């Protein structure tokens, strides 16, 4: 694979300057600048149209941060889901039920198995008969 170091980039720029000549260089720079501005306007227009269609969309910086670190995004979503689940369980207790006595529970619930957040359990498949 080709690596572009700063020295190589300067060499390529020097060759382009020699090939273009000093008279065509300002015109080429103007064209590149105009093209860059047109691309930026297109990006801004598309982003505003998408934001009008989807108003709850996160900011562009948040989306870039999510794309760079999808594992942290998944961890945040899992934590948010855990908090919602805990809130739903605590609000589902009916007020007409007898109050829960204070103190340690009489029967301890079994501990939850500890698995990494990126662990995905695959369904068990039947054994392959050709392996016998």
pTM: 0.40
Q: What is the pLDDT of residue 95?
A: 45
Token couple for 46: 């598309």
Count of other CB atoms within 10 angstroms of residue 73: 14
Q: What is the pLDDT of residue 68?
A: 82
Per-residue pLDDT of the chain (132 residues; tens, 9 = 90+): 577 788 888 888 888 888 888 788 888 889 989 999 999 999 999 989 988 998 888 888 888 887 888 787 788 888 888 888 888 887 765 444 555 555 554 555 566 666 666 555 656 666 666 665
Location of structure tokens 């999808």: 70
Quick one: CA torsion of 99, 105, 109, 112, rounded to 10 degrees?
Answer: 100
How many alpha carbons lie under 13 Å from residue 115 in its C-beta half-sphere? 8
Who contacts 28 (Cβ-Cβ below 8 Å, separation ≥6)? 20
3-state secondary structure of 120: coil
Query: What are the sequence ranges of the domains in the chain?
Result: 10-56, 58-89
């Amino acid at each position: 694979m080709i690596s572009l170091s700063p020295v190589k980039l300067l060499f390529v720029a020097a060759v382009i300057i020699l090939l273009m000549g000093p008279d065509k260089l300002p015109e080429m720079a103007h064209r590149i600048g105009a093209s860059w501005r047109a691309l930026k306007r297109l990006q801004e227009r598309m982003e505003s149209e998408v934001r009008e269609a989807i108003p709850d969309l996160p900011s562009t910086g948040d989306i870039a941060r999510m794309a760079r670190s999808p594992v942290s995004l998944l961890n945040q979503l899992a934590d948010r889901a855990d908090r919602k689940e805990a809130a739903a369980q605590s609000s589902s207790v009916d007020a007409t039920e007898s109050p829960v006595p204070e103190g340690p529970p009489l029967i301890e619930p079994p501990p939850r198995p500890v698995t990494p957040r990126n662990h995905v359990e695959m369904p068990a498949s039947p054994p392959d008969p050709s392996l016998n």
